[in-house]
A and B are shown apart, each in its own frame.
Chain A
């Protein structure tokens, strides 16, 4: 294994963290968008409270991936930047609007328009971002992207399907996580059944979308699909087990277990893709080897990443532990 491979593994770990943590924050926005009924306001509050302390930290995983990509594989980044202009710009708009709208709603006190406007902005932009990132990810697998035709990623049915899948997966994660949050406090316990239903629905939708995407995958990303068949089946198995375990745990109200299982389901799927993608970064255009920065630079990166994670991981754990319980009320 070369240093570049190691860096790739680190990047996929970062991507997994982003999907499972940051993704769930976006999924919360999706449920904010879909909140209906008499409990809608409570649901939105629950979502907002859940993501408040952590969304910025979760978001940094994305920065981490981008930085690792352009430092470790500069030519790939150049190509990604110029060919995936449209989906990435859309994702950025979503990211900017999501973050701004969240704090404007939380801290604005209506000074810049009613809170619920910002709430809608928050919800819509939270949905756009995973969709756009899903489209961008699919383009890496199909390899159908070029600087001359920035619209190309949007014309791929597989790409659009992956965008939807990303939205569904984040929504599924968020619903599962929110069950635990809702159950933690008596004030929000009445929301549990609703989110449990949504989590189940999310799992079903994810499964159905995955089935529908399979033929498209085979058709439009044959290279990766073949490798997927060869290499990723154990991971697919894990993912399925994770999904099933999530449903069982939800039914038995074991919400912490459900969280872990849901993370396993989505994470295993992501790794399945990553394993199948290797050694291509962009299928047919850039491989890990051809794009890797000089080894000394990658070594330096790896040391920096190791040191950085050593510094950052303990506080992350403290952060999550700190905010798992409902706030003391006295």
Chain B
């Protein structure tokens, strides 16, 4: 059965590859919506264009990631049948409920993603924000359903087989697997960490290149907050998962640890290469008795080793131990960074220093590493779970070799999958990279303007200083007329979907970037992404314009300023100049002057009193706010800004363009 073994390897490789590909997108489907809920909520509350810019940028990235995740997920649902027909024939019934519910969760997600991505102008601001909730919830819930399947494959429950035939399958079997709870908590935290870490990494790189504006600062803060808050929790969840493996899949634990000999006083081994032949780990760091201590709280606790099973029933210790080590190292680094950052934040807060998050170069480099570290840990963690399950496809019930298809088309299909996925991934990286560079809508910092980075503590000189040349896609702001630079760039950076919400662009023009550029070029001159909060500025413009006009009337009435703002906001160029100025005065007090992004009638009522309270409450640790919002207020530079009102006003559409 040499050929069969090959087929098994190919099928496994194909499944592993497709799953890894899909997971990398799925984690963003879980994590990003929650983060979007936060940023867009902040925008609704404050009208601050920076929040809108973050929201729009992320929603664009989310659109792409979600679509690729959706189609790659479809491939998986087919692959179960194409590659593992025997598995699906036998156990499809037991897994059906989980998959069905996952299907509906995905359904709900897809529906609301459509509404969210294309509904900026069709929905009221609040309704638009509300569509994020079903997206986030169903994204999370679909992870949960899928994990039930995997947990069941690891530790099946609720089926009765007689003579190789399934005679009874409890419909809820997957939900009763003992691995389910630890696995789902471990995975959800991992998903959040991957999404948060990647976001943090992107903004950290941006800041390392000198873009230390409020936009980058906040993007970094949110991402870091997510990844660093989750990291310590992940320690607990991971420990739970490990214990669970020890209880229900002792061989998996043994493989993770590279432990061959069953016995008490089992060592905890980190690193090294497990040698299949000798049963030893070479070059590893061994802590004697630690594993017994961890698992049973006593060095006398007996840990099952790989020697307890015949060789053909052992997982591959080399692979699983290696993956486990990588996961532990990456995870520990994140946890360490989390604790360190926590300490520094507390200290800075006590001293009253302003951005609570340290943004020195080493910190930024560390932050830039969180994304890759989280993704690496997530992928290797999956390798541990799946590799540790071997040789079973359904633990103790069916072997992987018995589940596979015997077809000889496996090789070309696998090769095709590799080529297809890798080229799609390559293209995607290019696209995301382009999205990630530059400011909210692709425009750059303009150090020349009074409104440089307003985050105190950011080393301003750097603004123009670096990033030079490294990135062809970002023209230097300083050179030439701003408008030139901006124009070219805004054209190149903005992308289509933007146009989808862009009032300036013909609705029909949505899909092409060209059209989009056309729409935006005029507004190119409005560049600066600056300041934290420009309350007077109605950037929010986009959606609710029409309705907001109405709602807005009540607001402007109270203060002189932006009576006209809501409308102009949507059509970038003209009207706006009048807007903006007076308002900056500290949005908190002047809140009524802020054109509320919300359009509902009732919002007008709550806006005045409600907002400040909420924003304070949510501001992070104390009033300083992890995300620096307090300072944003403080540093809004009301005095300096007036003349830049025009810029400001025009600028809001970068927001629109996302």
Interface, chain A (partner B; CB < 8 A): 42, 44-46, 48-49, 52-54, 56-57, 59-60, 62-64, 66-68, 70-75, 77-82, 85-86, 88-89, 92-93, 95-100, 102-113, 115, 147, 150, 185, 187-188, 293-294, 296-297, 299-301, 304-305, 307-309, 311-312, 315-316, 318-319, 322-323, 326-330
Contact = CB atoms under 8 A, between A and B. Distances in A.
B497 A106 contact: yes
18 contacts: A52-B511, A53-B119, A56-B114, A59-B74, A59-B110, A63-B103, A77-B92, A78-B92, A100-B427, A104-B431, A107-B496, A108-B513, A111-B433, A294-B168, A296-B170, A307-B104, A308-B103, A315-B112
Contact of B430 (A48, A111, A150, A319): A111
Given A74-B90, A104-B428, A109-B493, A56 B66 contact: yes
A78 B78 contact: no
A77 B74 contact: no
A312 B66 contact: no
Given A57-B107, A97-B420, A328-B122, 17 more contacts: A49-B510, A56-B110, A59-B110, A66-B78, A70-B77, A71-B97, A74-B91, A103-B67, A106-B497, A107-B60, A107-B496, A108-B430, A108-B434, A109-B495, A112-B428, A115-B512, A300-B171
Interface in B52-110: 60, 63-64, 66-68, 70-75, 77-78, 80-83, 85-86, 88-97, 99-104, 106-108, 110
B409 A81 contact: no
A112 B122 contact: no
Contacts of B110: 56-57, 59-60
B590 interface: no
B424 interface: yes
Interface in B431-453: 431, 433-435
Contact of A77 (B68, B88, B506, B509): B88
Interface string B501-515: 001001111111111
B123 A322 contact: yes
B532 interface: no
Given A52-B511, A294-B93, A99 B68 contact: yes
Interface residues of B, number: 96
Contacts of B515: 45
B494 interface: yes
B71 to A, nearest CB: 4
Interface of B: 60, 63-64, 66-68, 70-75, 77-78, 80-83, 85-86, 88-97, 99-104, 106-108, 110-115, 117-119, 121-123, 134, 166, 168-172, 405-407, 409, 413, 416, 420, 424, 426-428, 430-431, 433-435, 492-497, 500, 503, 506-516, 545-546, 570
A297 B169 contact: yes
A185 B108 contact: no
A301 B70 contact: no
Minimum-distance CB pairs A-B, first 10: A71-B96, A81-B81, A74-B92, A300-B171, A308-B104, A293-B93, A109-B495, A78-B89, A48-B511, A112-B427
B93 A60 contact: no
Contact of B424 (A56, A59, A96, A300): A96
Contact of A46 (B81, B101, B508, B514): B508
A307 B430 CA distance: 41
B430 A112 contact: yes
B96 to A, nearest CB: 2
A92 B71 CA distance: 8
Contacts of A100: 67-68, 71, 424, 427-428
A193 to B, nearest CB: 17
A49 B511 contact: yes
